[in-house]
Chain A
């Protein structure tokens, strides 16, 4: 059987290369000796019959309405995946669109799909830089970049973790992201799964478990993860976070 990784709206929602996380999952599955494919889903008509994992990236604010329209056509599936335990990674505005809603700086608001708790609210000025999060659930330190003009409130009960460096959800929460079962929303953009192999493998292990497959990282995975480890170490040093916090 073939693991099917869905990349949701890869054209509209790929500002920082977040959609490439689907390819990261597929590559790691192949290195583990499994069959895997990435299916780009630009609208409901592209949906494959079986879905094992979902990645939704971040887009620009000008595409919020268009992306929302398309996601509304997938509302039932998103809700079902969420309750059935299909691992979902949603980044930046992709995450915001799955929340209760987005309040824009000009006073308008965009209604979210209500898949995840909380809402996005304007922050004073854009934040761009390193983001390091001490994640719960055995995921260790999540290392990456953030670049957003909104904070996130209402995730206080179920964040991904505590901020070690950077802004994260903001508003003095000291928290980053929201995690509801196997659905994760985060400001960590770009190749977050390549930079954070533990998170990638947690998603893959969950997908395999549902599919009745065994997931054991392959030889190539260990080689490539050494590059990730080196990149993480440098970024942690730059962000002033001790690598020993990575427990």
Chain B
């Protein structure tokens, strides 16, 4: 009963927000409830009977969370989870309100939350998690974090809230140090890639600092091999074949993270075959290497979020692809930290667009990439790019930052696959 009045106010705020912006979600109801009932988020997060699972890190957290939820649901668990756009405090509360009854109770036995690495430490103050999974430490959003030390510090704070297990990427030296500093009684579980998989990624996997040694398959879940959109996980002497939502080693690593975490959550109940089926059934994620047909043309969408994903994705574009649209939006305020990447393999880009088009063109030009046109208006760039004849080689490819992706989706009337 304690939270009923706050929930009512939150509901009314949500209705008001929906009237103002039909169809749109909003963090405002969460903000309102957090203000008038500051304990609600903490109490609710701590109240799930089978505990709270938190997934955080620089990148891969959305995919890992999605995969983990799929595995747990396939095992018959009732899971509460947050949409990836609601991974900070107001958004989380708003997401809880969506599901809450009039007293504020949220259905589900276990909560699996993707948490922003910057805000997570504060959200988790006073909240205990059963399991915390750390994906990696990569250079990302320099404006916010300045450096990797700061990111690692925030992840360590979130990890310290775990009372059951902490699941870490053994290939990440920062995370191994965090694991080494955990209190007694907290189990550490590890996932990682085999030497072969690492060797197949000549630029590495994007960790700020890669651990000197690979994980022994006897000590955790290892990505033994990756072949296009399928992979094999080695789990204690058993080889588990899985399908991935798209090509790319980082998806296999996300799958290993989700698999290890599910093991930590389910214990004896965990079934590798059920997990493999659930992982393989996950549909492609919009903008993550997905091929779609738009206006009668096949187009590959490639989302770049940080230098590591930028490099991996640029490397995965087939050389000779001669129709590329490159759009960087206002979400990349200062593109400086992208400069160490190398996009020379692109050779030529048809149009550079987005509000940071000039900065992006400058960077590409110094990589030796030819630029046919800079078009600041993303809508016009998309229209012209799609209207141009099909390429003689490869598939039309659109590379975009998160902000440019949202605008592209809106402009083309595409909705996200769930």
Mark A residues whose CB is within 8 Å of B: 14-20, 23-24, 27, 60-62, 126, 128, 145, 147, 149, 189-191, 194-195, 223-224, 227-228, 230-231, 234
Contact = CB atoms under 8 A, between A and B. Distances in A.
Given A15-B337, A190-B339, A231 B142 contact: no
Given A195-B362, A227-B358, A231-B358, A145 B336 contact: yes
Nearest to A223: B365
A191 B339 contact: yes
Interface string B357-379: 01101110110100100100000
Given A16-B142, A191-B336, A227 B361 contact: yes
Contacts of B363: 191, 194
A224 B362 contact: yes
| Among all A-B residue pairs, the 10 with the closest Cβ atoms | A190-B336, A17-B339, A231-B358, A60-B147, A230-B358, A227-B362, A20-B339, A227-B361, A16-B336, A224-B365
A172 to B, nearest CB: 24
Nearest to B357: A230
Interface of A is mostly: helix
B414 to A, nearest CB: 28
Given A16-B142, A224-B366, 6 more contacts: A15-B142, A17-B338, A149-B146, A191-B362, A224-B365, A230-B358
14 contacts: A16-B336, A16-B337, A16-B339, A17-B336, A17-B340, A20-B340, A27-B366, A60-B148, A126-B146, A190-B334, A227-B358, A227-B362, A228-B362, A231-B362
Nearest to A149: B146
B273 interface: no
B143 interface: yes
Interface of B: 139, 142-143, 146-149, 334-340, 358-359, 361-363, 365-366, 368, 371, 374
Contacts of B359: 231
Contacts, number: 79
Contacts of A145: 334, 336
A236 to B, nearest CB: 12
A17 B307 CA distance: 11
B287 to A, nearest CB: 24
Interface of B is mostly: helix
A230 B335 CA distance: 15
Nearest to A60: B147
B142 A147 contact: yes
Contacts of B358: 227-228, 230-231, 234
A230 B374 contact: yes
A15 to B, nearest CB: 6
A130 to B, nearest CB: 9
A145 B146 CA distance: 13
A190 B368 CA distance: 18
A223 B142 CA distance: 29
B146 A147 contact: yes
A197 to B, nearest CB: 10
Contacts of A20: 339-340, 366
Contacts of A228: 358, 362
Given A128-B143, A147-B142, A23 B366 contact: yes
Nearest to B148: A60
A89 to B, nearest CB: 14
